[in-house]
Amino acid sequence: MPLGAVYARLALADNLMCQGRLVEAEREARIAVSEAMGIYGKYAAITATALQILGEVMLAKGDLTSADTLSNAQIEILEHLRLSTNEERMIRARLFRAEVLSAAYDFSMAVKAYDRALAGMQANSYLYRRYTGRNSDMILCLIKNRRIPEAEKLIAEAKG
C-alpha cells in the first residue's frame, strides 16, 4: 500500500500545517515528495499532489520562491500527464499557482491563473461554488485588475 502511505503522510503534513507546526509539516511533506517520486516517478499524479502540499507549507512559512518553484513544477507534471483543464486536480493546481502569485503581489499573472482555473470550472457549478465562494485572493486580484463587476458578483455570491 505505498500509495496509501504517501497519502497518509500528505494528510499528516496538511494537518500539521493547519496546527501551525510548519517545520514538522515541511518535513513530512518532503518525505512524501521523496516517496512519491521514488515509487511512482516524477510524472505521476501523486507526485504533483505531494508538490502542492509541500508548496502550501512553504507558502505558509513565507517562502514564496520555493512555493513558486513547486507550483510551476506541479503544473508542468499535470500538463505532461495531459490532464484536462476541467479535472479537479488541475483546477486546484491553477488555484494554488494563483495564490502564490497573489502572495507575491503579482496580481496580473495571478488573475491569469485564476482565469485558467475558472475556465476549467465553467461547466461544473459544484467546483465553481466550492473554489470561488469566499475566495478573497481571487476577489482582490479581480479588483486590482479593474474587473470590478466580476469581483462584485463573487462578493454577492459569498453573501447570499
Q: Is 70 exceeded by the pLDDT of residue 1? A: no
- Note if the pTM is more than 0.85: yes
Per-residue pLDDT of 43-64, as tens digits, reads 999 999 999 999 999 999 999 9
pLDDT tens sequence across 90-109: 999 999 999 999 999 999 99
Q: At what angle do helices 45-61 and 88-103 cross, to 10 degrees?
A: 20
Distances (CA, A) of 44 to 7, 19, 73, 81, 132: 13, 28, 12, 7, 27
pLDDT number for residue 140: 95
* Per-residue pLDDT at 75 exceeds 90: yes
The cell numbers describing 125, all together, are 457549478
In Å, how far from its chain's centre is CA 83? 15
Exposure string for 47-62, b = 16+ CB within 10 A, e = fewer: bbbbbbbbbbbbbeee
